[in-house]
Amino acid sequence: MASLAPTFGRGAMTNHWVDIKNANLIVVMGGNAAEAHPCGFKWVTEAKAHNKARLIVVDPRFTRSAAVADYYAPIRSGSDIAFLGGMINYLITHDKIQHEYVKNYSDATFLVNGDYDFGDGLFSGYDKDKRSYDKSSWSYQKGADGYVLVDNTLQHPRCVFNLMKQHYSRYTPEMVSRITGTPEEQFLHICEMVAETAAPNRTTTFLYALGWTQHSIGSQNIRTMAMVQILLGNMGMAGGGVNALRGHSNIQGLTDLGLLSNMLPGYMTLAGDKEQDFTAYLASRTLKPLRPGQMSYWQNYPKFHVSLMKSWYGDAATKDNNWCFDWLPKLDKIYDVLQVFELMHQGKMNGYFAQGFNPLASFPNKAKIGGALAKLKYLVVIDPLATETSEFWKNFGEFNDVDPNKIQTEVFRLPSTCFAEEDGSLVSSSRVLQWHYKGADAPGEARGDAEIMAGLFLRLQGMYKKDGGTFPDPILNLTWPYIIPHSPSSEELAKEFNGKAVTDLTDPKDPTKVLVKMGEQLAGFAQLRDDGSTSSGCWIFSGAWTQAGNLMARRDNADPSGLGNTPNWAFAWPANRRIIYNRASCDAAGKPWDPTRTVISWSSRQNKWVGMDVPDMRLDAAPDENVGPFIMNPEGVARLFAVDKMAEGPFPEHYEPFETPIGTNPLHPNVISNPAARVFKSDMEAFGTARDFPYVGTTYRLTEHFHFWTKHARINAILQPQQFVEIGEDLAKSKGIKGGDWVKVMSNRGYIKAVAVVTKRLKTLTVNGQPVYTVGIPIHWGFKGLTKNGFLANTLTPYVGDANTQTPEFKSFLVNIEKA
């Protein structure tokens, strides 16, 4: 999501599952929707069947999605930016862009700081020692009025459009093919198909998932595609958008609630250790408009933040104590999973809670993860299943060859319920919060996660009360208003996220008029205030449980528009908006680009925006006010130039995977891989080279399984019982491997053994003049569960992540293979 927010303002799938059926062209790239999201993929088949849509799949493997595609092209894993950058170049040189859209709804016209530069693989401001950029030159030119300077003629050499054009002019079809291995004519064919949707009444939708995120340049992969969508004018349109398909049923909920070390609920951020001053903390996040009249919705940050603190600390949070700002941690750095395990590996951590998380299986370089866990004093595993992590200390032969005598970590296993054993809500990719009901009682002594956490909290709080301690305030003052304190209910938590009036809320224009009575649920985040009179545990969820009740439990599937929009089915954040940025579905005058797919439009009669969806716009913002459709961005428009939002540059640039099969970067041999990616010293040493490990390894999931869970479920185990790897026929032939043979796959970090599946679906690619073979490694096996015991695929993967999200590079690394 760290690529969409810098581009559009919000980090989420922009449209929704059902809306895919409205597309004219569907591009599945950086994902395998049929395999990983078969239920959502239904809407792709609907688009094909009822909208004559075409489906393109670009993937290193001929996937299950490719099996039903109209057009498939192979690509080398880790070269997507080259492909999409080439597509940007194609769209510009062939003049296949939606001019009105780009001019009005993107920053194409904005002038960029004169110091900004790019040359030989590096943007301006690089610090080689710190492996990071001083981003001050990655900014717009501002006028005396504080607003950004623009050139609506797009002639100025420093306008974003021209800088972008220049940047991607290097991505010629020949260069694209040289880097990606995609045959040039296939690349061009896809460009032609995509270019057709630059017409205002045609849309492309992109579906992607971990195939783009799990790279050291993952966020930039996605940003490149987002730029393509801006150029095509597809954002905000029904059947368009950028559709990040989330795999876990509630992984969208995880990011929404800020379960990342540097985040607060609702995409607010924790303060860094240099941000001790509350006013400065708020000021840097309360974004003022960069162009006149823009909504710049983050101007409301103080309302969201204060309401959050009121939700957490109730009466203890006052204006005088800065709403308990001092009680929040201030970060010296981001404590993402890779960082945490690095610290653990260095022996700097004593204890670790793995709640619904199986890091031994899910994180790269299993040997390092296992070694790190062995240095803990205690490990608590909260999970419905007996995970590999919970038995990392146990010897399972070759699969987990450890000596339990040498591991002193005390492991506590707390069995928890799974989602079907509790009431609650799940947030889907579409940002839809849908309430669900318990289907069965949990087995044995399993308890809900909330109950487990409450039990821990109440005991800790009791100890602080009894014994005191250093800095007890945040623990002692936390609000705990639940009827059964040791077991907060999902309903109570959901109401808390929505928020309520702490005192009577009166109309600012007429203080005698009470809008919301004290204690009542709020109707939405528009009612939040920064004076302590409202509370909300997650502002974007506000509106989900109002005085009208639990809107997440709504089940009205009426679709009045026929476009698959069901406003009374559950609840979508923000504000039950189903297609975000939907103001961009209309031209500057407020008329829909495609009247047959009207999402909203300006009604001059009613003087407001009306339509099938909740307008993503101030309702009375008349078109001539020129309020931009990307209301979260202070620019009001989408960013082709990401200013300082990305770690490795404002324009995506192709960098090779850290383990590259070609050993160079054809664009700039001096800067091969992501110069801003964080690499720990010992991990740099664990990278392999193409000399020893000549083949591209890539890990992925199969539709028969869900991560490392369903190997515990009999039916899934029957459907895919045993570990395998996939290789192409050429590689198999040269190695004397036949389908069904046992093979050993090695990286510089370890090896796995598996059954070989020899397939035509993995073609040999010619990259930079040399043949590149791919070894496909599905991840689902381990040494716990009902499937045949196998190796954790992450024995092989490298310990490096994306520079923005630290998502590990699971998709592209180097291996060797031999007959076992």
Partner 1 sequence: MALQTLDIQRRSATTTPSPDVRQNLQTIEVAKLIDVSKCIGCKACQSACMEWNDVRDEIGVNVGVYDNPPDLTADSWTVMRFSEVEVEKDKLEWLIRKDGCMHCADPGCLKACPSPGAIIQYSNGIVDFQEEHCIGCGYCIAGCPFNVPRISKKDNKAYKCTLCSDRVGVGMEPACVKSCPTGALVFGSKEDMIGHATGRIVDLKERGYANAGLYDPQGVGGTHVMYVLQHADQPELYHGLPKNPSISVMVSLWKGVTKPLMSLGLGFVALAGFFHFIKVGPSKEDESEHESEPH
Closer of 274 and 714 to partner 1 (Cβ): 714
Specify the residue for token string 């000021």. 283
720 binds partner 1 (CB under 8 A): yes
192 binds partner 1 (CB under 8 A): no
Smallest distance, partner 1 to C-beta of residue 793, A: 15
Closer of 39 and 144 to partner 1 (Cβ): 39
Smallest distance, partner 1 to C-beta of residue 819, A: 13
Rounded CA-CA distance 465/474 in Å is 12
66 binds partner 1 (CB under 8 A): yes
810 binds partner 1 (CB under 8 A): no
The full length of the chain comes to 820
Choose the stretch contacting partner 1; rule: CB under 8 A; options: 153-161, 373-381, 781-789, 795-803.
781-789
Closer of 47 and 111 to partner 1 (Cβ): 47
Rounded CA-CA distance 281/207 in Å is 36
Which residues from 148-167 bind partner 1, rule CB under 8 A? none
Helix, strand, or coil here: 34?
helix
Residues 433 and 572 sit within 8 Å (Cβ to Cβ): yes
39 binds partner 1 (CB under 8 A): yes
786 binds partner 1 (CB under 8 A): yes
Specify the residue for token string 């057709």. 196
Tokens of 160: 């974003």
56 binds partner 1 (CB under 8 A): no
Rounded CA-CA distance 55/813 in Å is 28
Closer of 6 and 778 to partner 1 (Cβ): 778
322 binds partner 1 (CB under 8 A): no
Residue 780: which of 703, 705, 698, 699 has the closest Cα? 705
Residues 3 and 646 sit within 8 Å (Cβ to Cβ): yes
48 binds partner 1 (CB under 8 A): yes
Helix, strand, or coil here: 210?
helix
Residue 53: which of 193, 156, 172, 162 has the closest Cα? 193
708 binds partner 1 (CB under 8 A): no
529 binds partner 1 (CB under 8 A): no
Residue 410: which of 369, 351, 367 has the closest Cα? 351
Smallest distance, partner 1 to C-beta of residue 738, A: 7
Closer of 528 and 754 to partner 1 (Cβ): 754
70 binds partner 1 (CB under 8 A): yes
719 binds partner 1 (CB under 8 A): yes
Choose the stretch contacting partner 1; rule: CB under 8 A; options: 45-53, 216-224, 489-497, 581-589.
45-53
Choose the stretch contacting partner 1; rule: CB under 8 A; options: 554-562, 602-610, 759-767, 795-803.
759-767
Q: Contacting partner 1 (CB under 8 A), which of 356, 415, 721, 771?
A: 721
247 binds partner 1 (CB under 8 A): no
Contact residues for 816 (Cβ-Cβ < 8 A; gap 6+): 692, 693, 694, 695, 745, 746, 747
718 binds partner 1 (CB under 8 A): yes
248 binds partner 1 (CB under 8 A): no
Smallest distance, partner 1 to C-beta of residue 441, A: 20
Closer of 88 and 702 to partner 1 (Cβ): 702
Tokens of 815: 């291996």
Draw the binding track, 588-617, toward partner 1 (x: CB under 8 A; -: no contact). ------------------------------
Closer of 164 and 702 to partner 1 (Cβ): 702
In sequence order, what DSSP letters do the residues of 464-525 get, joined into one string?
HHHH--SS-HHHHT-----SSTTS--HHHHHHHHH-EESS-EEETTEEEEEEE-TTPBPS-G
Rounded CA-CA distance 360/784 in Å is 12
46 binds partner 1 (CB under 8 A): yes
Choose the stretch contacting partner 1; rule: CB under 8 A; options: 78-86, 145-153, 584-592, 713-721.
713-721
Q: What are phi and psi of 228, to 5 degrees?
A: -60, -45
Residues 439 and 406 sit within 8 Å (Cβ to Cβ): no
What sign for the dihedral angle of Cα 459, 465, 470, 476? positive
Size of the site for partner 1 (CB under 8 A): 47
Rounded CA-CA distance 323/779 in Å is 45
Closer of 44 and 176 to partner 1 (Cβ): 44
Tokens of 689: 């080279």
Choose the stretch contacting partner 1; rule: CB under 8 A; options: 83-91, 165-173, 288-296, 784-792.
784-792
185 binds partner 1 (CB under 8 A): no
Closer of 575 and 719 to partner 1 (Cβ): 719
In sequence order, what DSSP letters do the residues of 112-138 get, joined into one string?
B-TT--EETTEETTEETTTTEE-GGGS
Choose the stretch contacting partner 1; rule: CB under 8 A; options: 36-44, 138-146, 426-434, 441-449.
36-44
> Bridge-partner residues for 755, per DSSP?
724, 742
Amino acid code (one letter) for 789: N
Draw the binding track, 423-452, toward partner 1 (x: CB under 8 A; -: no contact). ------------------------------
Closer of 376 and 725 to partner 1 (Cβ): 725
Q: Contacting partner 1 (CB under 8 A), which of 149, 446, 493, 755?
A: 755
462 burial (CB, 10 Å; 0-12 / 13-18 / 19+) is exposed
722 binds partner 1 (CB under 8 A): yes
Distance of CA 161 to the CA centre of its chain: 26
Q: What are phi and psi of 437, to 5 degrees?
A: -115, 150
Q: Contacting partner 1 (CB under 8 A), which of 206, 363, 724, 810?
A: 724
Closer of 144 and 715 to partner 1 (Cβ): 715
Choose the stretch contacting partner 1; rule: CB under 8 A; options: 12-20, 498-506, 722-730, 795-803.
722-730
Closer of 66 and 88 to partner 1 (Cβ): 66
Smallest distance, partner 1 to C-beta of residue 64, A: 5
Q: Contacting partner 1 (CB under 8 A), which of 421, 492, 704, 730?
A: 704
759 binds partner 1 (CB under 8 A): yes
691 burial (CB, 10 Å; 0-12 / 13-18 / 19+) is exposed
Closer of 738 and 819 to partner 1 (Cβ): 738
- Helix/strand/coil (H, E, C) string of 573-629? CCCCCCCCCHHHHECCCCCECCHHHCCEEEECCCCEEEECCCCCCCCCCCHHHCCCC
764 binds partner 1 (CB under 8 A): no
Helix, strand, or coil here: 105?
helix
Residues of the shown chain interacting with partner 1 in the complex, contacts defined by CB under 8 A: 34-35, 38-39, 41-42, 44-46, 48-49, 52, 62, 64-68, 70, 72, 703-704, 714-724, 738-741, 755-761, 786-788
